[in-house]
Amino acid sequence: PEITFVDFAGNETKVDVPSGTSLMQAAMENMVEGIEAECGGSGSCATCHCYLTTDWHGKISDPDSNESDMLEMVTEPKDLSRLSCQVLVSDEHHGLHVHLPESQY
């Protein structure tokens, strides 16, 4: 599926993401800037923060308790904040957008 990353300045990068890949991996492999992912995807650093859009509703499970805890540590949390390493892309996500925060710190 195709996912569009939108950076803080509004620049869009469309990426073809294999199903089962996390949003974090997809961003890193395609040189999308704005994600740090210091822990490498284990859900323990909160430097892979991203914002989903309402289009994702019903197409993704809620954050687990660890992710919820970590999301309290991000710089500018919003309702649709997620850790991008915990969001796995599947076919039903084709065409959706992911927004990146101004900073991960």
Binding site for ligand FES (CB under 6 A): 24, 37-39, 41, 43-48, 83, 85
Shorter beta-carbon distance to ligand FES: residue 86 or 93: 86
The closest residue (CB) to ligand FES is 85
Residue 38 CB, shortest distance to ligand FES, in Å, is 6
Residue 82 CB, shortest distance to ligand FES, in Å, is 9
Note whether 53 and 99 are within 8 A (CB). yes
What 3-state DSSP class applies to 16?
A: strand
Identify the CA nearest to 81 among candidates 92, 72, 90.
72
Shorter beta-carbon distance to ligand FES: residue 1 or 41: 41
Question: Could you give the residue ranges of the DSSP H alpha helices within 1-105?
Answer: 23-29, 65-71
